Amino acid sequence: MQHSPHTRFALIFFLVACASLGHAAAQPSAEDAHAPSQSLGSDPSSPVPRIALTVDPLALYFGSYGLSVEFAPRRYQSVWISPAWARSGAQEGLAVELGWHLWPQGRGLDGIFLGPVAGVGTSRGAGRGLSLRGGAELGYQAVWGALAMGLAVGVDYDWRRQDEEVRSGATLRVRLAFGWAYL
């Protein structure tokens, strides 16, 4: 079967046009989406801060000298203890607070947290005293490298006995935290 020169030219033009369109469609453009993540659910997760040592500069201003140690055995929860020595007027004493934090974002000691707090303190000086407290706090702690900074607010219910006088009531709780965080 013989084709005319015009038919051969049209056929060659058609094949070249189709090949160039197919080649252009295969080239990625700048608007194409990025490649999907290659991570799997079984891949190990990135490390998160597990231990923090912090001080509260606000408490230092009011005469309470202590150190908070917080340990996160899991990404979503931590326990902490904060022993302190405090002086107020003619009174001085020892105190310790214990707490548990829930970290909903699952980044260890970095992010939003909330949890209960309990504490006990003793004092001496003008008279002997005992203080019990329980409450809850909500806060945020940011970890940049090894630096940890945070703020927490909450409510405490305090029961205090100084000699024979007993006082109790709700108080506002504010804590600042500056220190170090480790993996």
Q: Is 133 a residue whose pLDDT tops 90?
A: yes
What is the pTM assigned to this prediction? Answer: 0.74
Residues 160-175 have a mean pLDDT of 93
pLDDT at 32 over 80: no
> What pLDDT, on the 0 to 100 scale, is given for residue 183?
84
Q: Is the pLDDT of residue 1 over 60?
A: no
User: Coil, strand or helix: which one is 22?
Assistant: helix
Q: Does domain 51-182 have CATH number 1.10.3470?
A: no
